[in-house]
Structure 1
Amino acid sequence: MADLLGPSDIRSLAESLGAAPTKKWGQNFVVDSGTVRRIVRIAGVEAGDAVVEVGPGLGSLTLALLEAGAHVTAVEIDPLLAKALGDTVAERAPDEASRLTVIHEDAMRVTGLDAPPKALVANLPYNVSVPVILHFLETFPSLERVLVMVQAEVADRLAAGPGSRTYGIPSAKAAWYCDVRAAGDVKRNVFWPVPRVDSRLVLMERREIPETSASREEVFAVIDAAFAQRRKGLRGALSELAGSSSASEAALESVGIAPLTRGEQLDIHDFTRIAEALNATA
């Protein structure tokens, strides 16, 4: 068993490094060993799995992933924490240290890893969670699962289905890649500092992308336009993308979607059909 980090360990380690959680990088460190083990369990991490972790911070979740037998690539933007993580693991889990690779980089710029990751498991900074998830799903087709801890509101948006008041761009784009569901709440007191918002786990399981002649970029452009003005019907919302309101209306009618339908009523397959129709009328 790894020597996981508790509340006093986190504070002592931060003090020894001269580090403090910053708003700049959205840092809230997990201080509860039960929580990180729960994350690893829900993520289905098994011995030998190649796992990428974004924002490892002081190493709470990293140690739990290594304890489960994973090969972990930790991507950390904070230079101080990136430099210290290897030493923390070597001290607290020396037998597992050889299975850790630390990359000091902005997660949004990561385009290659030593081993194709099977899972993304992370306590993500709230302000960049959705872009990071979508970037990794697109960049690494090997990802089978994503288990992330994010702001509860973001989790609800990712897991929402058509017709829900929280359904929107994150929901539709995530559905391009995965089946998504909420996987449990996380109490505020497991973090340091304690955040002002609730957190929630989201489990995303990769499936085949929709069968379509349209590209991902074309489908996502339709999604972006459809939700740019939520109260507007698709005839108007897609007019700029289509070239005119009449062109968007023709494309919608060609796939059996009423022109005054709103984006929140459509699923990912509807968006792909609209993208195909717009290509056909271009």
Structure 2
Amino acid sequence: MTDPSLSAPVSLLGASRIRELATELDLKPTKSLGQNFVHDANTVRRIVASAQLRPEDVALEVGPGLGSLTLALVEACRAVSVVEIDPRLAARLPATVLELAPQYVDRLHVVLADALAVKAEQFPEPPTAMVANLPYNVSVPVLLHLLSELPSIRRVLVMVQAEVADRLVAGPGSKTYGSPSVKTAWYGVAKRAGSIGRNVFWPAPNVDSALVAFDRHTTPTDGDRLAVFKVVDAAFAQRRKTLRAALSGWAGSPARSEEILRAAGVDPGARGETLDFRAFRAIAQAAQK
């Protein structure tokens, strides 16, 4: 017989309960840690639904805060690892899950760490999906670090600043296409998954938010990723310049830059914003020959 507690929907955090928890912890949300807590249950449910989680998934959440999203995640999948940098929040989270979703508390694993430095061995098992309201001030480096460190992640659904979402999903030729676009494309395909209003947060941010869905390539991209990313950074550091000029410092001289570009089949007069990640890979490979 099925345990009825496992079929009952989890009670999520509302605005009043979030403020009570913040008062209990003497917590004043800080911009430096990107602390804006979602208090709208419908938004939380929408995020989890957009993540397309499977019951067998092991989810990773970054910056769980007071647990708004965590409660929905422990209900949706087999296990959830959360990475929290604030010791007060990390210590309180299991109690919140025990209070509101006691039947799922064993699914939760808390990692007290900086998401920019967390390592794969800190997780009890490899995460297969990442769902998070990322701290807006470090959202891109956190995403790229975790995609690199945790190749087991096949699916990502993150909430980020709307401008950042535009950059992550942009394609070659777009005004918002840049280094984050290329580096994200190295790992997989990103697309917009909707917008989020400011009024679902406490405190309300002064920027618009958006959801980005990401699916990892079914086979890893071949090539030296770090070498390719150096080319990408050099190309976009001076994005208004031609690649011949922009890559001259990286290559050693304008003449060597042009030689490498021609060997890679890339027009030296082109600009970085016109190339996809495969072209940058070709440039890095040509430089090594």
Please say which of residues 174-183 and 64-73 is displaced more in the overlay: 64-73
- Per-residue CA deviation, residues 116-166 of structure 1 (Å, 9 max, x unaligned), is 000111000101100010011011110001110000000000000000000
After TM superposition, list the pairs within 5 Å mapping 1:190-269 onto structure 2: 190-207=200-217, 208-212=219-223, 215-269=224-278
> Could you tell me how far 1:19 is from its partner in structure 2?
1.2
The correspondence of residues 1-282 of structure 1 with structure 2, limited to 5 A, is 1-112=9-120, 113-207=123-217, 208-212=219-223, 215-280=224-289
Query: Alpha-carbon deviation of 1:278?
Result: 1.0
Q: What SS does the aligned partner of 2:156 have? A: strand
CA contact (8 A) 1:26 1:126 kept: yes
1:72-102 CA distances to partner (integer Å, 9 max, x unpaired)? 1011001111110011110010000000011
User: Partners in 1 of 2:144 and 2:50 — Cα distance?
Assistant: 20
Aligned-residue offset at 1:3 = 1.2
Structure-2 separation of matches of 1:19 and 1:275: 47
Q: Which amino acid counterpart does residue 85 of structure 2 have in structure 1? A: I
Contact 2:179 2:232 in 1 (8 A): yes
The unaligned stretches of length 5 or more in structure 1 are none
Which is further off, 198-207 or 10-19?
10-19
**Structure 2: how far apart are the matches of 1:139 and 1:55?**
17
| Runs (5+) with no aligned partner, structure 2 | 1-8
CA distance in 2, matches of 1:73, 1:80: 17
The offset of 1:262, in angstroms, is 0.4
SS in structure 1 at match of 2:193: strand
SS in 2 for 1:108: coil
Give distance in 1, aligned partners of 2:78 and 2:188: 22
Aligned length, in residue pairs: 278
Equivalent AA in structure 2 for residue 210 of structure 1: T
Question: Could you tell me which amino acid in structure 1 is paired with residue 251 of structure 2?
Answer: A
Tell me how far apart the structure 2 counterparts of residues 147 and 82 of structure 1 sit (CA, whole Å): 22
TM-score (norm 1): 0.97
Q: Give the whole-Å Cα distance in 1 for the aligned partners of 2:52 and 2:184.
A: 20
Helix, strand or coil at the partner of 2:34: coil
Which digits, 9 at most, give the CA deviation of each residue in 1:175-205, with x for residues without a partner? 0001010100001100000011000000110
User: What secondary structure does 1:109 align onto?
Assistant: coil
Length-normalised TM-score, structure 2:
0.94
Root-mean-square deviation (Å): 0.9
